[in-house]
Structure 1
Amino acid sequence: MAEINLFLIFLGAIGFDLLIGDPRFLIHPVQIIGFYIKKLSDYFINNFGENKKILFWGGFTVAVSTIGISLSLGKLIELSFAQSRNHFFSGLLIFFGLSSCIATRGLISSVKEIAELIEIKEINDQNKRIIEEKVQRIVSRDVRASSLEHLLRSSTESLTENSVDGIFGPLFWIFIGVIFMKFSIFLPGPLSLGFSYKAISTLDSMIGYKYDYFRYLGFFSAKIEDIFTFVPSRLVLITLPLVSSKVNQYKLIIKKSYLDGKKYVSPNAGISEAIFAYICGIKLGGKSKYKNNIIEKPIINPTGDNCNGEKIKLICQLILRLQFLWIIIFVLIFSLISSLV
């Protein structure tokens, strides 16, 4: 019975995120996770910045401890919920906790706002700085002094990549947690896996880089994120065309997206960017500045159009449609397993 209530809480949390997003009166778990990661990472960087071996194993410590604490906290709340006959308070913690793991409304609204600002015909220096600041909040690259075209591309690439990290990855692992709880309350459940994936995603976004000391400090974080995002990114690849107008080109689009996407260093980011690029008919990739380094990513869909506000709105619509499709699939799978177990 507990797992059925957990599944209903999960569905409610998805709806809450779509309608409300992250309540401002609550501390977001990512803020706590980020604070812990920064403090521990700064310690290793400031004290052992020249020692590659210590940075390497320090990064292992940062990754394992962050994920372990997140998993344990989620599991404690789940056990409280299951063993207290679905106590209201622990159920409420799970509800808000699961909602905080999903970033649909926050991601879509932030990128839409950027697109609308860029589409203003007359953009002065002050507006340009505001746009740059908003783009910088959602990307890790340096967008200072970027053209409007590059700002749009950066926003689009962030939206397409983070749709997996911030939406479909958490949805997948939370659902896996619900299924696990059907078999044993002591297995990782939706909140413990949701918190764990959020910790993994935050680790990767904060220290999972391939330059300077992050090359060693963030090695484990980047690899763990690659592993846990592998399946969700490929599920997005094979399901996104089903909610698009190009479903009749299903096999061709998937093939092109996979071939272009696997050119990326990341085994997942390129895949998620490519499927959106081919469905929306846009070109992604190219030069971007990270700190003092210029990195040129492979071009995805070379014959596609440049990014614009309309394409961003289309991507947002596709994300919402795909999320709805995934919910239907989750309900069907859960109902089937419930009838068999």
Structure 2
Amino acid sequence: MAEINLFLIFLGSIGFDFLIGDPRFLIHPVQVIGFYIKKISDYLINNCGKNKNILFWGGLIVAISTIGMSFGLGKLIELIYFQSRNNFFCGLLIFFGLSSCIATKGLISSVKEIAALVEREENNDQNKRIIKEKVQRIVSRDVSSSSLEHLLRSSTESLTENSVDGIFGPLFWIFIGIFLMKFSIFLPGPLSLGFSYKAISTLDSMIGYKYDYFRYLGFFSAKIEDMFTFVPSRLVLITLPLVSPKINEYGSILKKSYLDGKKYDSPNAGISEAIFAYISGIKLGGKSKYKNEIIEKPIINANGDICTGKNIKYICQLILRLQFLWIILFVLIFFII
């Protein structure tokens, strides 16, 4: 019975995230995780920035401690919930905790807002400035001198990559946690794995870079994120065509997406960007500015069209359809096994 209650809490949390998103009256777990990562990382950079070995092993400590505390907090709440026979307060914590692990509403709303601004007829200087500010919030590259075309491409690349980090990655590990707790409450559960993945994703987004101090400090964080996102990104690859009109081109699209995605240094980002690019018929990749350096990413779907606001809205629809498909499949697996 407790497992069924947990399952219903999970479904409710997905609906809450889809309709409401992150409530402003609650402190988001990412804020707490980010505060801890920043404080420890800044200390290591400011005091040991010239020592690569200390940064390297210090980065491992930052990663393990952040993930460990996130997992431990989630597991503690799960154990209290089960041992107290479905305590309402703990159930509420699990509900909001699981909802905070998924970023459907926030991600889709932010890019749709950018698309709507770009589609306005009055693309004056003030409107372009607002668009750049909104794009800069969701990307790590420097878009201060970007054209509208590049801003749309940047937003699309962020949307397609973060759909895995912010939606399908957490969903996958939450699924695994609910499934494991059918066998024992002492196994990793949905909240402990959800919090852990959120910590891994936050570590990668804050320190998992390949320049300056972060090349050493964020090495382990980036590798851990690669490992824990490997399966979700490939599940997106093989399931996304199922919710698109291009299902009749299934084999061809998978092959092209995988080959183009492999060109990226990241084993996951290229894969997720490529499958969305081929299904929506757009071209991604090319030159982008990071700090003071111009980086040229491999081209994905070279024969595709340039990104438009319409493409962004279509990709948002695909994400919602795929999320719905995943939930249906998980419900079937949960009750069959």
Question: Into which bin does the TM-score normalised by the smaller protein fall?
Answer: over 0.9
What corresponds to 1:23 in structure 2?
23
What corresponds to 1:101 in structure 2?
101
Partner-residue secondary structure (3-state), 2:25:
coil
Matched, 1:196 2:222: no
What corresponds to 2:152 in structure 1?
152
Q: Which runs of 5+ in 2 are unaligned?
A: none
Pairs within 5 Å for 1:132-147: 132-147=132-147
What corresponds to 2:301 in structure 1?
301
- Per-residue deviation at 1:130? 1.1
Amino acid paired to 1:297: K
Matched, 1:165 2:145: no
What corresponds to 1:266 in structure 2?
266
- Aligned pair count reads 337
Q: What are the superposed Cα offsets for residues 78-125 of structure 1, whole Å, 9 maximum, x if unpaired?
A: 001000000000000000000000000100000000011011122222
Pairs within 5 Å for 1:53-202: 53-202=53-202
- Per-residue deviation at 1:310? 0.5
Aligned partners of 1:148, 1:287: CA distance in 2, in Å? 14
Aligned partners of 1:143, 1:197: CA distance in 2, in Å? 28
What corresponds to 1:249 in structure 2?
249
Q: What are the superposed Cα offsets for residues 308-336 of structure 1, whole Å, 9 maximum, x if unpaired?
A: 01000000000000000000000000001
What corresponds to 1:205 in structure 2?
205
What corresponds to 1:8 in structure 2?
8
What corresponds to 2:330 in structure 1?
330
What corresponds to 2:286 in structure 1?
286
- Give me the CA root mean square deviation: 0.6
Partner-residue secondary structure (3-state), 1:97:
helix
What corresponds to 1:219 in structure 2?
219
Partner-residue secondary structure (3-state), 2:181:
helix
Aligned partners of 1:80, 1:137: CA distance in 2, in Å? 37
Partner-residue secondary structure (3-state), 2:23:
coil
Q: What are the superposed Cα offsets for residues 21-74 of structure 1, whole Å, 9 maximum, x if unpaired?
A: 111111111011001100000000000111100000110011000000000000
Aligned partners of 1:50, 1:118: CA distance in 2, in Å? 44
Partner-residue secondary structure (3-state), 2:50:
coil
Amino acid paired to 1:108: I
What corresponds to 1:47 in structure 2?
47
Aligned partners of 1:293, 1:299: CA distance in 2, in Å? 18
Aligned partners of 1:59, 1:121: CA distance in 2, in Å? 47
- TM-score of the aligned structures, taking structure 1 as reference length: 0.98
Amino acid paired to 1:9: I
What corresponds to 1:34 in structure 2?
34
Task: Tell me the percent identity.
Answer: 85
Partner-residue secondary structure (3-state), 2:245:
coil
Q: What are the superposed Cα offsets for residues 237-270 of structure 1, whole Å, 9 maximum, x if unpaired?
A: 0000000000000000000000000100000000
Partner-residue secondary structure (3-state), 1:289:
strand
- Structure 1 residues 6-15 or 122-131, which shifts more? 122-131
Partner-residue secondary structure (3-state), 2:296:
strand
Aligned partners of 1:290, 1:52: CA distance in 2, in Å? 22
Aligned partners of 1:65, 1:294: CA distance in 2, in Å? 34
Amino acid paired to 1:265: D
Aligned partners of 1:123, 1:91: CA distance in 2, in Å? 48
Partner-residue secondary structure (3-state), 2:174:
helix
- Per-residue deviation at 1:196? 0.2
Aligned partners of 1:9, 1:330: CA distance in 2, in Å? 14
Amino acid paired to 1:72: G
Q: What are the superposed Cα offsets for residues 278-323 of structure 1, whole Å, 9 maximum, x if unpaired?
A: 0000000011111112111100000000000100000000000000
